[in-house]
């Protein structure tokens, strides 16, 4: 029932097989720096995280920063990717579990309740409510995040479609609407988490939300 989440830096490092080549070697662990940046962006958002905040947390200088990551915006995109692949991996993992559709969604919500209130990571979700209000100059960023949100909702649609094929759900179920409902709920839970709601309350929300699960006719 529990899902093992790996956010540790060491584990991340293994995926970066220490490139050997000419030139002076990097004096810092790129994956570790990326992880530090992700936590900062997650906690404070894009605008709320200054360049100096980043270099300080990553333990590198401005030149190393630009040499390794290109720009603040490029780094942000990388941290979003890292979040999806690592800290937020529970989402896709659970959707691939070989249980029935209702159990899968119940598991998704209870895991969200737990993940959104971990004490070793920022609360809530890095993407759920990010950049919904931003300057027109940040349109690319807003679109990037909106796209991520759309993709996660699409993943719910896909899983519900499989549920219909498996006979878990009535064939006439409005799966787009049902996906939108659980999607909205998860985003709201993320906001609640950032406001400091207790984990147990989030679990109660999850329990109530499963009451809305469609009943066979």
Partner DNA sequence: TTATTTTTGTAGTCATCGCTCCATAAATCC
Partner DNA sequence: GGATTTATGGAGCGATGACTACAAAAATAA
Burial of 14: CB neighbours in 10 Å, binned 0-12, 13-18, 19+: exposed
Residue closer to DNA, measured from CB, 4 or 22: 22
How far apart (Å, rounded) are the C-alpha atoms in residues 203 and 190? 12
DSSP assigned state of 85: I
The residue assigned the tokens 């959707």 is: 95
Residue 34 touching a copy of itself (CB under 8 A): no
38 to 77, contacts with a copy of itself by CB under 8 A? 42-45, 47-50, 53
Write the DSSP assignment of 136-163 as a string of letters.
Answer: GGGHHHHHHHHHHHHHHHHHHHHHHHHH
Residue from 10, 67, 99, 154 touching DNA (CB under 7 A): that is 67
Tell the residue number behind the tokens 């993709």, with chain if given. 151
Looking at residue 131, the DSSP 8-state letter turns out to be: T
Is 151 a binding residue for a copy of itself by CB under 8 A? The answer is no
Please tell me whether residue 4 binds DNA under the rule CB under 7 A: no
- 199 binding a copy of itself? (CB under 8 A): no
Query: Of 18 and 158, which has the nearer Cβ to DNA?
Result: 18
| By CB under 7 A, residue 17 contacts DNA | no
Closer Cβ to a copy of itself, 53 or 78, answer by number: 53
- Among the residue ranges 61-69, 81-89, 173-181, 188-196, the one whose residues contact DNA (CB under 7 A): 61-69
Where does this chain touch a copy of itself (CB under 8 A) — which range of 27-35, 69-77, 79-87, 169-177? 169-177
Cα distances from 62 to residues 37, 55, 74, 80, 93, in angstroms, run 14, 7, 14, 21, 37
Q: How far is the CB of 154 from a copy of itself (least distance, A)?
A: 13
6's contact among a copy of itself, DNA, none, with CB below 5 to 8 A by partner kind, is none
């Amino acid at each position: 029932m529990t899902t093992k989440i790996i956010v540790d830096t060491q584990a991340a490092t293994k995926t970066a097989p220490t490139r050997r080549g000419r030139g002076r070697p990097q004096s810092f662990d790129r994956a570790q720096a990326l992880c530090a940046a992700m936590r900062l962006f997650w906690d404070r958002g894009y605008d709320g995280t200054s360049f100096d905040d980043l270099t300080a947390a990553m333990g590198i200088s401005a030149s190393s920063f630009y040499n390794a990551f290109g720009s603040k915006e490029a780094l942000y995109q990388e941290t979003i990717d890292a979040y999806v692949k690592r800290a937020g991996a529970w989402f896709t993992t659970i959707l691939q579990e070989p249980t029935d559709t209702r159990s899968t969604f119940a598991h998704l919500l209870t895991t969200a309740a737990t993940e959104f209130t971990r004490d070793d990571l920022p609360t809530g979700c890095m993407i759920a409510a990010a950049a919904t209000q931003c300057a027109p100059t940040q349109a690319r960023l807003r679109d990037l995040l909106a796209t991520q949100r759309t993709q996660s909702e699409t993943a719910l649609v896909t899983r519900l479609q499989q549920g219909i094929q498996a006979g878990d759900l009535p064939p006439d179920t409005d799966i787009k609407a049902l996906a939108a409902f659980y999607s909205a709920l998860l985003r709201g839970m993320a906001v609640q988490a950032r406001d400091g709601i207790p984990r147990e309350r989030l679990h109660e929300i999850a329990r109530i939300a499963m009451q809305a699960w469609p009943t066979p006719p």
